[in-house]
């Protein structure tokens, strides 16, 4: 009788400890699964005082400077973000000593789509001397198009001005552009050149 009681207590203790083990293991797996979904919302790389240079066959095509750049790679649509502003110089082989410039308070790059956005006091100066000012700017690199729906203020190299109240679209090298609902102050020489 005593032997039977000892065996049954041992069996109950063994079953009880197995049950606790399985309960704890399953809870631990659930916590891991829940935390796994949240764990991708952090940068995989952080660059402080970034100074990035991009080259093509030895020629510097772009130089970007930013206080901080964060790269998010562990999500479905990876991106790079500069939350404290960015200053970019872009170089053309035709005029390598006169870079174009882009500055913004915020920039985001979707690497897979090659889609860029800049926000907050976006300023562009082309290597031809044209100056653009707007609040947001989008660049679709595969389509080689830049666009915005914001009001665009443009100062040309000769001092004439143009305002695109409903935004603009442009080729990414600014060789041609279209302004929507525009007004401005163009010189007579410019108007006669455009009619030819």
Instruction: State how far the Cα of 107 lies from the Cα of 104, in Å rounded to an integer.
Output: 7
Beta bridge partners of 52: 64
State residue 187's pLDDT score.
52
Query: Under a CB-based contact definition with an 8 Å cutoff, are residues 107 and 131 in contact?
Result: no
13 backbone dihedrals φ, ψ, rounded to 5°: -65, -40
Entry pTM = 0.68
Position 12 confidence tier, pLDDT thresholds 50, 70, 90: low
| Average per-residue pLDDT for the chain | 78
- pLDDT above 60 (res 11): no
Cβ neighbours of 146 (radius 10 Å) = 22
Cβ neighbours of 91 (radius 10 Å) = 20
Cβ neighbours of 85 (radius 10 Å) = 17
∠ CA 155-156-160, rounded to 5°? 75
- pLDDT above 60 (res 83): yes
Residues 6+ apart with CB under 8 A from 66: 47, 50, 82, 84, 85, 86, 87, 107
Q: Parallel, antiparallel, or unpaired for β 95-104 and 115-125?
A: antiparallel
Portion of the chain with pLDDT greater than 70, in percent: 73
Per the listing, tokens 């305002």 go with: 163
Query: H helices of the chain, where?
Result: 2-38, 188-195
Query: Under a CB-based contact definition with an 8 Å cutoff, are residues 155 and 131 in contact?
Result: yes
- pLDDT above 50 (res 195): no
Query: Under a CB-based contact definition with an 8 Å cutoff, are residues 56 and 77 in contact?
Result: no
Which of 128 and 147 is assigned the larger pLDDT?
147
- pLDDT above 50 (res 1): no
Closest C-alpha to 107, from 69, 149, 60, 142: 69
Which stretch of DSSP H or E encloses residue 130?
none
pLDDT digits (tens, 9 = 90+) for 98-121: 888 999 999 999 988 889 999 999
Instruction: Calculate Rg over the CA atoms of the chain.
Output: 29
pLDDT digits (tens, 9 = 90+) for 39-49: 567 888 899 99
Structure tokens at 134: 């707007």
């Amino acid at each position: 009788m005593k032997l039977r009681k000892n065996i049954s207590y041992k069996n109950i203790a063994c079953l009880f400890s197995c049950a606790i083990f399985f309960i704890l293991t399953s809870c631990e797996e659930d916590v891991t699964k829940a935390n796994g979904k949240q764990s991708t919302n952090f940068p995989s790389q952080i660059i402080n005082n970034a100074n990035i240079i991009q080259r093509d066959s030895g020629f510097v095509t772009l130089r970007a400077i930013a206080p901080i750049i964060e790269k998010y790679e562990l999500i479905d649509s990876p991106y790079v973000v500069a939350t404290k502003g960015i200053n970019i110089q872009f170089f053309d082989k035709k005029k390598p000593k006169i870079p174009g410039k882009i500055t913004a308070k915020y920039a985001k790059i979707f690497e897979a789509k090659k889609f860029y956005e800049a926000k907050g006091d976006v300023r562009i100066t082309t290597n031809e001397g044209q100056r653009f000012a707007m609040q947001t700017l989008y660049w679709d690199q595969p389509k080689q198009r830049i666009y915005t729906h914001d009001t665009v203020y443009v100062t040309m190299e000769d001092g004439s001005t143009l305002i695109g109240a409903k935004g603009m679209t442009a080729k990414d090298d600014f060789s041609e552009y279209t302004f929507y609902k525009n007004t401005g102050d163009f010189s007579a020489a410019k108007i006669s050149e455009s009619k030819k």
